[in-house]
Amino acid sequence: MFDALAERLEDAWKKLRGQDKISQANIQDALKEVRRALLSADVNLQVVKKFVADVETTAMGADVIAGVRPDQQFIKIVYDELVQVMGESNVPLAKADTSPTIVLMAGLQGTGKTTATAKLALHLGKENRSCLMVATDVYRPAAIDQLVTLGEQINIPVFEMGTDTNPVEIACQGVAHAKETGVDTVIIDTAGRLQIDAEMMAELAQIKDNVKPDEVLLVVDAMTGQEAATLTHTFNQQIGITGAILTKLDGDTRGGAALSVRQVSGQPIKFVGVGEKVEALQPFYPDRMASRILGMGDVLTLVEKAQEEIDMADAAQMQEKMLNAQFDFSDFLKQMRLLKNMGSLGGLMKLMPGMGKLSSDQLEKGEGKLKQTEAMINSMTAEERRNPDLLAGSPSRRRRIARGSGHSEREVSSLISEFTKMRSLMKQMGQGQMGGLPGMGGM
Ligand code: GDP
């Protein structure tokens, strides 16, 4: 997602490259590109106008920072504005002082409301919050069945009264049942329509009046772009929402909805749906989303994950070694294990700038290659690991490693030559001969 937006924003940064500072004159073209990029990502026009105006004001008031190029500074300003538009920090789901917390789900048909109901219940379960899901879509028996099936799948109870009872009544009885059984949170799934219609709105309003929910979450389909802004605005005006769940962010969305929701409703996106599976729900973090939009990868998540695994002093030492070409096979092995601890290579690569587009086939190959490499390094002696040059000059050592690791001599030779190449590349970087790795966005 957001690939196109990130690419277009690149054009904005380019307009400022080579300038020595941001000025009223040179920033206009960059702002035009930002505007164009956001509009083509389907961000609501009013949101775009305000965004661009705010970026301009901040940029004009910004002091020149020593060592920071104007285009970098501009990226930072746009990043900060993106974060602000989306709400600065994660807003967790409300928790009522006395149980149960009542969550009312609203949204059009097909947006992923029923799926989101189950996803949310599963998510809360992981936080030790027990849930009851209530099925009130009496117009589509299939919707009730869908929730019941999902409930069985995730082992969370569903309250339903078939299709002959009034939805308001079902919601009230569901809440009463939740109180009796002492669950922490009751999530009420409601009927959607293909379009906003007066009857649906009236019913939602009635349920809301009767059960007095702690949260009214609007489920918004990220694929709907502009439409999402109008929808959010209308629901908020007519029903009053407390937040949104943005679904289908895993799809080929242009992303505009993520930027519009809070601006048009004043309410935050609390969760995002990133797949059809019940596990595919994540809390929404504006800062992480902003760095994704800028195509800088989800560096924050990456750093957090890395911090859990590495001792920072160790990391600094490792970097020093890399840059001085003292990086050896033991270090390499350490790095690989670290990668493994941090999760699958696939998951990790998606977070890296410019790497999100690898196919699962390519990733699988990558994971397989990592395993092979590890086996070969494991077959080296301590001395060989420390001094890779020993291997380059000795076919008999390479033969022994090949035999020990169950690989061909050609594979061992190719590992050694790739490693040597990588080391000299690192050394060049250390000596400042390269501007950074390709695809790393100059970071
Ligand atoms: P409802 O009519 O609003 O209750 O929508 P459903 O929950 O039945 O979902 C409609 C369709 O969207 C189903 O095929 C879901 O599997 C799919 N869906 C829901 N959430 C997501 C998501 O986050 N990503 C993707 N790719 N599909 C989703």
Say which CATH class 3-86 falls into.
mainly alpha
**Dist. CA 72 → ligand 1 center (Å):** 38
**Cβ–Cβ < 8 Å for 186, 178:** yes
- In 3D space, the residue among 349, 347, 268 whose CA is nearest the CA of residue 83 turns out to be 268
**Cβ–Cβ < 8 Å for 185, 101:** yes
Q: Which atom of ligand 1 is nearest to the CA of 247?
A: 23
**Cβ–Cβ < 8 Å for 55, 68:** no
By alpha-carbon position, which residue is closest to atom 13 of ligand 1?
Answer: 112
The C-alpha atoms of residue 11 and residue 218 are separated, in whole angstroms, by 34
| φ/ψ of residue 221, rounded to 5 | -85, 115
The finding on whether 276 has its CB within 6 A of some atom of ligand 1 is yes
The pLDDT assigned to 219 comes to 97
The finding on whether 166 has its CB within 6 A of some atom of ligand 1 is no
By DSSP bridging, strand 185-189 and strand 131-135 are parallel
Amino acid at residue number 328: D
The pLDDT assigned to 399 comes to 94
Q: Which CATH superfamily is domain 101-293 in?
A: P-loop containing nucleotide triphosphate hydrolases (3.40.50.300)
**Cβ–Cβ < 8 Å for 434, 406:** no
- In 3D space, the residue among 277, 308, 310, 274 whose CA is nearest the CA of residue 289 turns out to be 274
Measured CA to CA in angstroms, residue 107 lies from 56, 92, 111, 292, 344 at distances of 35, 20, 7, 26, 35
The C-alpha atoms of residue 150 and residue 182 are separated, in whole angstroms, by 21
Measured CA to CA in angstroms, residue 437 lies from 96, 314, 354 at distances of 49, 22, 11
By alpha-carbon position, which residue is closest to atom 20 of ligand 1?
Answer: 112
By DSSP bridging, strand 281-283 and strand 269-273 are antiparallel
The finding on whether 114 has its CB within 6 A of some atom of ligand 1 is yes
Q: What is the CB neighbour count within 10 angstroms for residue 173?
A: 14
pLDDT in tens, 66-96: 556 777 778 888 888 999 999 888 999 999 9
* Residue 39 tokens, joined: 């509009």
Which residue matches tokens 């291997």? Answer: 391
**Dist. CA 147 → ligand 1 center (Å):** 12
Would you kindly state where each structural domain of the chain is located, as residue ranges?
Answer: 3-86, 101-293, 299-430
Query: Is 57 annotated in some ligand binding site?
Result: no
Q: Which residues, given as ranges, of the chain have pLDDT below 50?
A: 297-304, 306-307, 353-354, 434-443
How is 107-153 classified by DSSP, letter by letter?
--TTSSHHHHHHHHHHHHHHTT--EEEEE--TT-HHHHHHHHHHHHH
**Dist. CA 332 → ligand 1 center (Å):** 42
Q: What is the CB neighbour count within 10 angstroms for residue 46?
A: 13
ipTM of the modeled complex: 0.99
Secondary structure letter of residue 161 according to DSSP: B
The C-alpha atoms of residue 212 and residue 104 are separated, in whole angstroms, by 9
* Residue 140 tokens, joined: 């589509």
Q: What is the CA radius of gyration of the chain?
A: 27
* Residue 418 tokens, joined: 């790739």
Peptide bond into 100 cis (omega under 30): yes
Q: For residue 35, what is the enclosing H or E element?
A: helix 24-40
Q: What is the CB neighbour count within 10 angstroms for residue 273?
A: 26
**Dist. CA 146 → ligand 1 center (Å):** 11
Amino acid at residue number 59: A
Q: For residue 101, what is the enclosing H or E element?
A: strand 101-106
CATH architecture under which domain 299-430 falls: Orthogonal Bundle (1.10)
The pLDDT assigned to 22 comes to 84
User: Cα–chain-centroid distance for residue 291?
Assistant: 9
| φ/ψ of residue 158, rounded to 5 | -120, 130
The pLDDT assigned to 97 comes to 93
Close Cβ partners of 202 (under 8 Å, ≥ 6 residues apart): none
The pLDDT assigned to 304 comes to 42
Sign, CA dihedral 63-69-74-79, equals negative
The finding on whether 283 has its CB within 6 A of some atom of ligand 1 is no
Query: Is 193 annotated in some ligand binding site?
Result: yes
- 329-341 and 299-309 helices, crossing angle to 10°: 110
